[in-house]
Chain A
């Protein structure tokens, strides 16, 4: 048989197809033109395999790939050119690294002979992305494409997922290579994605849980990533353990589950923060004790014995000492522990959460979601959308007050229902991530909550939304401030509102320019009908809400404080 000779770019198309890729987010340019030339054929006619989404900025391509990955559970793909195209992806790569999101970023690069000469649009992408990616690799030969792509996808999705960067010099795109079929990398000898859990750690963990009087489970995104929702439910129900979820783990357990006690951390549930300091055994599952969860680490849960289940060995004892580390995939370790658990009843302990919850409800939640007077509040807007979508929609957030209030008051009944920038806190994440989510979960309603600051940080992606008719329901919570920073300035920086008031454009005109339906809510009487109108519309929609200018997110653990110093009200 004749050898089939193809270009590196053609090989890339075939390799991506073999990985099951259907959606590519990208932006063309000089060093990636051979790939775009191949894409031309692969996005139409007989060879059609991909839908390519032309974003308006490379940062948007990566965030969209993240939104796609987080909602679908598949690997998101972004394709960009070298130099500025490549550096524009870095924020998204760092974001995906901190939030364990599987994406593959493929960037053009100058030709091999020009490497190191400061050639036009040459940037050492492998060098700059190494510390913020799970793996980055330069494909120097067309022959290597199939292998590198397969390895990249394997690494991105396996174990603790993360971003992989492929730097693809132009001549490797154009050179010919022999096509011998796609590669199927199933292991990398230096990399152990699924460590084998030790039997003794499992039995010790079970023994400790069985002896616990006041157990508390802390659940993170690891449960979602492992698709271990059912295994979690079996564990907590058998041992009757109340659960707190991290921001990224919010849809790891349904909001309706009776053991669900809310969100952990700085703006989480009052009861959970107080009770963390009373628990005798803490079972942390697929979470990493971020400082936003622990507050001051040296005073965090000193009284408790801590069991830490994580797939990533490097997370053990990184921030908080684990008395019993259980290293492994929690889809495996949780059932192994559950098997050894006694059926238990912690009614008294669970009841002890109630009085704290009542306090929070009366002082914070009630006034936040059902205010009687004054300007519109973010909490009530979120609540209105949450009630109208009945816990079935996907929440995408930007960063700031809008993020904290939407994550607090949204309802989550299905898995993979929250897409937010947790570790990096990237403003401008929301809009492009929501675009990606419409492709990752095409059958679900995608609600994107955003502040006026974050909306303008990647506002150009409205062009992508227009072109794709991506059905993103954008809820723009306009308080004319960089609200989150304004809150901190009022609380901790002498009330100096240093460069946080912000002049806003007329968003109705912007919506009009992009031909996106738009409504403004000023009066709370109109809120519910306009939310309904937004949800009933087919395509994208912008719902601007005129939010009270100086409302604060409460409750709050001030930075550097112990979590049980959480404030329900701020007394200056």
Chain B
């Protein structure tokens, strides 16, 4: 039976030490898995960095990838999720030509329809921002693009928090601290 690839989100927590990103991405490249999006930021715990990574891969592949990432000395914890286990956001930024927006009222109607925000307006351009899921953000782009009004467009990597209460890693760190005492 042919296995099907699934879309996974990996949450990785690490110490704030240089060179970890390299080590994490190398685990994917070595197994020829493409990273779809990547976001690195601080977590709610001081000194702990959080990576949100998405990729298409097989079930057994994602387990191996997570194990190999967690094996890196300065990685605290690596876990994987499917979309139903997470609260997910991405952001799209759309820079539109002010002239086009003024000439065609349909454009601002679309912006409102997609629940996007207009964050800046000046005589040459209008900046529109939309946060949501990938599909909505791309749909808005496609809709706007019909009017030839998009000067620039970019979409952020995914950020995600789990549906559990704490940072995934807090309990682990507590245990480690207890063990060290």
Contact = CB atoms under 8 A, between A and B. Distances in A.
Bound together: yes
Interface of A: 126-127, 130-131, 134-135, 155, 186-192, 312-314, 316-318
B73 A190 contact: yes
Contacts of B23: 130-131
B63 A317 contact: yes
Nearest to B179: A187
A-B pairs with lowest CB-CB distance, top 8: A314-B67, A190-B76, A135-B73, A189-B176, A314-B71, A191-B73, A187-B180, A131-B26
Interface range for B:
20 to 34
Q: Which of A130, A189, A192 has the most CB of B within 10 A?
A: A189
A290 to B, nearest CB: 16
B67 A155 contact: no
Contact of A189 (B70, B71, B177): B177
Given A190-B15, A313-B67, A134 B179 contact: no
A130 B68 CA distance: 13
Nearest to A188: B73
B19 interface: yes
A185 to B, nearest CB: 11
Contacts of A189: 76, 173, 176-177, 180
Contacts, number: 48
B57 to A, nearest CB: 15
A98 to B, nearest CB: 14
Contacts of B19: 126-127, 130
B89 interface: no
A318 B30 CA distance: 14
Interface of B: 14-15, 19, 22-23, 26, 30, 60, 63-64, 67-68, 70-71, 73-76, 173, 176-177, 179-180
29 contacts: A126-B19, A127-B19, A130-B19, A130-B22, A130-B26, A131-B26, A131-B30, A134-B73, A135-B73, A186-B180, A187-B176, A187-B179, A188-B73, A189-B76, A189-B173, A189-B177, A190-B14, A190-B15, A190-B76, A192-B176, A313-B67, A313-B70, A313-B71, A314-B64, A314-B67, A314-B68, A314-B70, A314-B71, A316-B67
Secondary structure type dominating chain B contacts: helix
A314 B71 CA distance: 7
Nearest to A312: B71
Nearest to B173: A189
Nearest to A135: B73
Contacts of A318: 64, 67
Nearest to B69: A314
B22 A127 contact: yes
Contacts of B30: 131
A316 B63 CA distance: 10
Given A134-B73, A191-B73, A317-B63, 20 more contacts: A127-B19, A127-B22, A130-B19, A130-B23, A131-B26, A135-B74, A187-B180, A189-B76, A189-B176, A189-B177, A190-B15, A190-B74, A190-B75, A190-B76, A313-B67, A313-B71, A314-B64, A314-B70, A316-B67, A317-B64
Contacts of B74: 135, 190-191
Contacts of A317: 60, 63-64
Contacts of B177: 189
A136 to B, nearest CB: 8
A318 B180 CA distance: 30
